[in-house]
Chain A
Amino acid sequence: MAAPPQFNMPNKLLALLPSADYNQIAPDLAHVVLPRGSLLGEMGKPIKYVYFLTSGIGSVVATTPEGHRAEAGLFGLDGYVPTSAVAGAEINAHDVGMQLEGDGYRMDYDAFRGWMERNRSLSKVMIRSLEAFSIQLAYTATSNALHDVTERLARWLLMCHDRVPGNEINLTHEFISLMLAVRRPSVTTALHVLEGNGFIKSERGHITIRNRAALEEFAHDAYGRPEEEYRRLMRDLF
C-alpha cells in the first residue's frame, strides 16, 4: 500500500513536510502493520528500514552487556527515527520494538539516506526529531534519578496516553516493570495508588485513563517539558 495524500498522513513528522517534499519521498514509503513485539531495529544489527508510525507505540530499550534492560524512550505517531539512522550509521545502537501494536510506513534505509542528502526539508525535520527525542531521553534519565515510582508511572502513562486514540491502554504489569526498570510489585502498588486516587482504572492487562488532568497534576514536574519542547521544535519549520 502506497503512502496516502499528505493531508491524510497521521505521522506528524511526515505531515510537517512541505507538500512538494512529501510528494517527492512518498513513493518510497510502504505501509506496514506492526504487531506488539515486532522489532523495528535490533541492537548490533544493520539498519534495514526507518519507520514512521501512524499508530501504536514503540520503545527504545537499552541493554547492558550483562543483559539488564530498561526503556530509554518511547514514540508513536509523533515520529522518531533512530539516532543511528539520522547519523548515517550502518548499525542499530539499541533494540527498538513495538510495545503497543500499530502500523506505519517504512522506508528502505538506503533510500532514506539518499533523501537525507537530497531533500533539505526532510533532513531538517529528522534533525529536529532527533533533538526532540534527545530531550525526552534527558528527562527520562532525570525522572529515573529524581522521581519515585508512582510519579514515573504517572509520567509514563501520560506519555502513552498522548500516543493512543482513546483512553485505554493494553499493558501488563510485567511489561511496565520492564519499561520502568522496577520490580513488578512496585508497578502493582503504584497502579493501586493511582487507581485509589481515581486517576485510572487498572484491570488485568488493561489500563483506562479516567482523569487525565488529575494524573498530570500528580505527575507534577515529571511530565510536560519534553512535550512542550517537541511542540516548540516542530512549530514554524517552513
Chain B
Amino acid sequence: MTRYFFHIRRNDETVLDEEGDEFASLDDARVSAVNAIRELVAAKIKRGLMILNEHMEVRDEADALQLVISFHEVIEGQLKR
C-alpha cells in the first residue's frame, strides 16, 4: 500500500491534504481522485456556483508529483457529444 496525498490547486490558493490515504496502486488513487472531483463539482453545480479549472495533484509520501487531474477534464469526460 502506498499513501497518496490529494492537494487541490486553484488560481490563488491551495487546499492541502495533510492526511493522505492508502491505495494499492496509483490507478486506484486516480479513480478515487476522479470520484472526489465528481463529488466536489456536483456540489458546486447544485449550488449554481461557477466551476473554476481547479486541479487535483496526487503526490506520494516523498512529495513527488504523481498525477495532475483537471476538474474541467473530468467534466468534459462526462459530457455526451
Stretch at the interface among A20-28, A33-41, A51-59, A177-185: A177-185
Q: Are A189 and B47 in contact (CB under 8 A)?
A: no
Q: Are A189 and B19 in contact (CB under 8 A)?
A: no
What are 29 of the A-B contact pairs (CB < 8 Å)?
A148-B47, A173-B17, A174-B19, A174-B21, A182-B39, A184-B6, A184-B19, A184-B36, A185-B6, A185-B8, A185-B33, A185-B37, A185-B39, A185-B40, A186-B36, A186-B39, A186-B40, A186-B43, A188-B6, A188-B8, A188-B15, A188-B16, A188-B17, A188-B19, A189-B8, A189-B15, A189-B40, A192-B15, A204-B19
A172 part of interface (Cβ distance < 8 Å): yes
Contacts of B6 in A (CB 8 A): 184-185, 188
Contacts of B33 in A (CB 8 A): 185
Give 4 closest A-B pairs by Cβ, nearest first. Answer: A185-B36, A183-B36, A204-B18, A192-B15
- Contacting A at CB under 8 A, from B33-70, are 33, 35-37, 39-40, 43, 46-47, 56
Contacts of B39 in A (CB 8 A): 182-183, 185-186
Q: Say which size band chain B's interface belongs to.
A: 10 to 19
Known contacts: A183-B35, A185-B6, A185-B56. The answer to whether A148 contacts B43 by CB under 8 A is yes
Contacts of A188 in B (CB 8 A): 6, 8, 15-17, 19
- Contacting A at CB under 8 A, from B6-41, are 6, 8, 15-19, 21, 32-33, 35-37, 39-40
Contacts of B43 in A (CB 8 A): 148-149, 186
Chain A contact surface mostly: helix
Known contacts: A185-B6, A188-B17. The answer to whether A148 contacts B46 by CB under 8 A is yes
Q: How far is the CA of A221 from the CA of B46 in the complex (A)?
A: 18
Chain A residue total in the interface (Cβ 8 A): 15
Known contacts: A148-B46, A149-B43, A189-B8. The answer to whether A184 contacts B21 by CB under 8 A is yes
Q: Are A173 and B19 in contact (CB under 8 A)?
A: yes
Q: Are A185 and B47 in contact (CB under 8 A)?
A: no
Q: How far is the CA of A188 from the CA of B20 in the complex (A)?
A: 11
- Contact flags A196-232 to B (C-beta < 8 A → 1, else 0): 0000000011000000000000000000000000000
Contacts of B35 in A (CB 8 A): 183
- Chain A nearest CB, measured from B75 CB (Å): 16
Q: How far is the CA of A182 from the CA of B36 in the complex (A)?
A: 9
- Chain A nearest CB, measured from B1 CB (Å): 14
Contacts of A172 in B (CB 8 A): 19
- Chain B nearest CB, measured from A230 CB (Å): 30
Q: How far is the CA of A90 from the CA of B18 in the complex (A)?
A: 43
Contacts of B8 in A (CB 8 A): 185, 188-189
Q: How far is the CA of A189 from the CA of B56 in the complex (A)?
A: 12
> 8 more A-B contacts (CB under 8 A) besides A148-B43, A183-B32, A186-B43?
A183-B39, A184-B21, A185-B17, A185-B33, A185-B39, A188-B6, A188-B8, A188-B16
